[in-house]
Chain A
Amino acid sequence: MIRFDQVSKFYDSVPALRDFSLEAEKGETVVLLGLSGSGKTTTLRMVNGMVTPSSGQVMVREHAVSAWPLIELRRSIGYVIQEVGLFPHWTVAQNVGMLPKVVGWDVQKTRQRVKELLELVRLPYSNYARRYPSDLSGGEAQRVGVARALALKPDILLMDEPFGALDAITRQHTQTQFLQIKEEQNVTTLFVTHDIQEAFRIGDRIVIMKEGSMVEMGTPEALLENQESDYTRELLASVTLGFSGKEEKERTR
């Protein structure tokens, strides 16, 4: 679904990403885990052409990103960021219904879709549709952000620390909800975070990144069992994982 072939990115000869290769299968959630400056976001933004690689190639659905019509590519990929970025002058319904409107759906169909999406993120339409972003809590705003990203039924979702600004309890609820939605929608997700617990909870596979390079990659189970690099060991030692992320995930399924 998404493939990185030896991708590098330099900003004024300073490397942000070096020789990065990765393949994400359909429906898979790949988490990019690392500290700030490790190149996670740069990697993510290459998928929808917000960043252009200096060398190597990024493929989306078997076609190079550089070969895609940019607008079409972006409309087919959901995008969620920590700051959410809801347009403050629009209601929840307008924000969620923006892309359907832009691609020319009629009012009735758009309304139906918005309703569906708000139900999906557990925000009753009658209650939330007419509210403005300033009336929403952080958790609610982010759920609207997710609903907006899913509006055109994308098969790929890019999420850049989407739950980073939420308090601990809200974050857990939102994560749980996200796992359910992801299951239902069967989207391929690239998920950036620096939160280790979140990474193990959300990811089917985890890519550990450091200074623009991939340090190690594996399933949560494999990484917990055996760490090939000192960096991973150090990273995992810095938090005590109270429970196995996997168990929690099973439960929600």
Chain B
Amino acid sequence: MGSVGEVTPQQMHFSEPLPLRSGAMLPAYDLVYETYGTLNAQRSNAVLVCHALNASHHVAGTYAGQARSEGWWDNLVGPGKPLDTDRFFVIGVNNPGSCFGSTGPRDLNPATGRAWGADFPVVTVEDWVDAQARLLDALGIGQLAAVIGGSLGGMQALGWTMRHPQRVRHCAAIATAPNLSAQNIAFNEVARRAIVTDPDFHGGHFYAHGVLPRRGLRVARMIGHITYLSDDAMEQKFGRELRAAEFGYTTQDIEFQIESYLRHQGDKFSDYFDANTYLLITRALDYFDPAREHGGDLACAFDAARGCGFLVVSFTTDWRFSPARSREIVKALVDNRIDVSYAEIAAPHGHDAFLLDDERYHRVVRAWFDRVDIG
């Protein structure tokens, strides 16, 4: 098993506006993407990888001259890996509204000549799917062999099968949910309030003030990070371990290692992530609810997906998107007599397990992709 090696992101310009679910339009925009492997002559071996909250088009491989620049799913995607780039042509694309190269809140709003900031139109999972479909049009790919994603990426993968069912033959939805629970939305709202109430946020137009709402972003990331780990994983990694040998009897300094870890994660995140993007992406999560327009009937929502084959994977210690949520998806598919396999992996890591290298998880994904027909 190898790496796809050094990769270079590519950029595609779209001059035709993208109609959004909200009724708004995203005017001309750019999408940044990467590809791995070779598109076959029949153009039948393309696999789209959809990214989650803080990831990007950089799925696999490394950047020249940059240490530790492996893509976020490098353990899954590459030659001889579960998603085998010797067989498949794999595409990673950064979604609009994100902050890793595709058009987002940091870019200029052509109407004002200023950065979009908080005025960037609200984007949904379905809008991202449509943007991805346009990229495939431009790449000359009529139909995907498969679409795969974890967490929010899994929602996009599911969205593909409902929105463009004729353009996708297989779908792998990993550690995801058919919509957010009240608790999920609550965590998102705490994160958003942390950002919006940061004095440096300036109503989302902080770029003009030459500041960044770092405090808010840090807290948002800390909150998010708690939901990515299982109670056990956190206990095992940090427990009640102290930074010093004894209590310092301080209310503001770091005492416990878990505090140090969360603050470190928050600091790192606030260096590279955009506050407006965080608001947009958590909202896209909140809004995703394909059953809503079918009177709450998820099976009805998947009616369009007949003909597509599915793999659904959940992790037993994931309390953010628990196995019960994945079973709702499985039930809706079974009700439609759709081909689906479902693996419930007993992994200790919580939601983050979908990004980690777990033998049982990866071998199921590998076996499933091995059966994906490329004509």
Instruction: Please determine whether chains A and B interact with each other in the same assembly.
Output: no
Which B residues contact A (CB, under 8 angstroms)? none
